[in-house]
Amino acid sequence: MNPVMRTVMRGASKLAVAVYKASGGKVGGRAAGGVPVLLLTVSGRKTGQPHTNPVGYFEHEGGYLVVGSAGGTPQDPQWFRNLRAASSAEVQVGRRAFPVSVRELTGAERDTAWTDIVLVRCPPFGKYEQKTTRKMPLALLTPTP
C-alpha cells in the first residue's frame, strides 16, 4: 500500500473508532452486508503499544469469530498480525468492553468455520479470497472472566 493510501486508511480507522465509541456502536456497528462490528484493541507485536481497529465479527461458540481479510490484499492486515502474536486482547461490542482470549483457527477447523459460518453469513468474503493467493486467517475471541 502506498504511503498516501496508508495515511488515509489510518485516519479513516481512527474516525470510525471515535464514532463507534461515542455512539456505543450505534453508528459504525455494522459493516457492508450487515456484518456486526466490534472494536478490537491489541498490543502491537513490535511496539507493545495498544492499537484499536473496527473489525467485523460472527458470533460463534460463545465468542467472536474475526476474519483477517484486508479486502483480499496480498498480506494479512496488521491488526491480525498483532492478534496472532498476542494471547489476549480487549473488545468493545456496543457499549460493553471486556478482555478476550485469542485463538487462531487452523486446518480443518479453520476451513469448516470459513465455509459454514463466514461464507454462509456473508458470501462477499468469498470474493476477497478469490482476489488473493492467501487463505483468510480466522481467530476466535473468547470473553475471559
Predicted model pTM: 0.88
Count of domains for the chain? 1
81 pLDDT band (50/70/90 cuts)? Answer: very high
DSSP H helices in the chain: 3-23, 78-85, 107-113, 119-121, 125-130
Overall average pLDDT of the 93-108 stretch: 97
Overall average pLDDT of the 58-84 stretch: 90
- Please name which of 114, 8, 131 lies closest in space to residue 75, comparing C-alpha atoms: 131
Name the residue range of residue 25's domain. Answer: 3-143
